[in-house]
């Protein structure tokens, strides 16, 4: 949603997102990366079904973790905290659990936890989101404040080339008017998660199909 389409139903107080700090020191559904690959490999070695070892902490990995936790008498919540990690990997949690990688994990975890939430014009809460409201909400959970509207977010980010895209970057599209009028969060593999007016929070292709024809550019929020 762009600033031009904002109506009086969205109060002025919603024009900015207020940040607060949240740090995650564990691994959970929505996380991605080499650390998840190692967890999946170890679960597979122990004969827990994780599906594809792909570095994506999805439903199959979560269920495998729960089964492992149950077998070890741990809290079966599917979250690999320090206790579960030590039991599974036979070593302490990696020391570099915070910083930019932790921000990316937080963003991905929050974004994926919202899958299926319906689209709502002007929405910026788990009850319903528009595109920029979703981005604003997800980044706020990671302690990052962004402008409320897609066109203002586009102006605020550091522009990057398509070839330099990484998980957690923002991707922008030109739809009903010139300039950035739609935004989502890049999740890797040419895909992004966003608030679709027809599907709600969902994952789509960035560079092909409907969105590929309307791709405008990308930007980085944090280093």
pLDDT tens-digit map of 46-61: 999 998 898 888 889 9
Whether residues 80 and 119 share a domain: the answer is no
Over residues 155-190, the pLDDT tens digits come to 999 999 999 999 899 999 999 889 999 999 998 889
Least Cα distance to 19 among 159, 139, 172 occurs for 139
What does the alpha-carbon distance between residue 172 and residue 78 come to, in Å, rounded to a whole number? 33
**pTM to 2 decimals?**
0.66
Residue 47: give its domain's CATH number: 1.10.101.10
Does some domain include residue 199?
yes
Instruction: Please determine, for residue 208, whether its predicted confidence score (pLDDT) is greater than 60.
Output: yes
For 202, phi and psi rounded to 5 degrees? -155, 170
Domain hosting residue 216, numbered range: 99-220
Whether residues 125 and 199 share a domain: the answer is yes
Does some domain include residue 149?
yes
Whether residues 116 and 206 share a domain: the answer is yes
- Tell me, what's the pLDDT at 177? 84
Instruction: Please determine, for residue 94, whether its predicted confidence score (pLDDT) is greater than 80.
Output: no
What does the alpha-carbon distance between residue 65 and residue 190 come to, in Å, rounded to a whole number? 28
- Tell me, what's the pLDDT at 102? 75
Please identify, among 24, 58, 89, the residue that sits at the C-terminal boundary of a domain.
Answer: 89
CB 76 within 8 A of CB 94: no
Least Cα distance to 66 among 75, 53, 56, 57 occurs for 75
Does some domain include residue 141?
yes
Whether residues 106 and 210 share a domain: the answer is yes
Q: Which residue has the higher pLDDT, 105 or 14?
A: 105
- Three-state DSSP state, 55: coil
Confidence of residue 86 (pLDDT cuts 50, 70, 90): very high
Residue positions annotated with a catalytic role: 131, 182, 194
For 82, phi and psi rounded to 5 degrees? -60, -40
Does some domain include residue 3?
no
Whether residues 162 and 85 share a domain: the answer is no
Does some domain include residue 70?
yes
Number of domains in the chain: 2
């Amino acid at each position: 949603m762009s600033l031009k389409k904002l109506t009086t139903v969205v109060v002025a107080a919603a024009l900015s997102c207020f940040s607060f700090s949240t740090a995650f020191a564990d691994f959970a559904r929505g996380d991605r990366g080499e650390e998840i690959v190692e967890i999946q490999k170890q679960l597979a070695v122990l004969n827990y079904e994780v599906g594809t070892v792909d570095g994506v902490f999805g439903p199959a990995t979560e269920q495998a973790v729960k089964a492992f936790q149950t077998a070890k008498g741990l809290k079966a919540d599917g979250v690999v905290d320090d206790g579960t990690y030590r039991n599974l990997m036979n070593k302490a949690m990696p020391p570099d659990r915070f910083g930019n990688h932790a921000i990316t994990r937080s963003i991905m975890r929050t974004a994926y936890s919202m899958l299926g939430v319906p689209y709502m014009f002007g929405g910026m809460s788990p009850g319903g989101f528009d595109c920029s409201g979703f981005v604003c909400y997800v980044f706020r959970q990671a302690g990052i404040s962004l402008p409320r509207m897609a066109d203002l977010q586009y102006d605020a980010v550091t522009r990057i080339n398509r070839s330099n895209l990484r998980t957690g970057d923002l991707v922008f599209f030109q739809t009903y008017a010139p300039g950035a009028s739609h935004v989502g969060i890049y999740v890797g593999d040419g895909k992004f998660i966003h608030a679709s007016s027809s599907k709600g929070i969902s994952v789509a292709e960035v560079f092909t199909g409907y969105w590929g024809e309307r791709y405008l550019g990308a930007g980085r929020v944090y280093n």
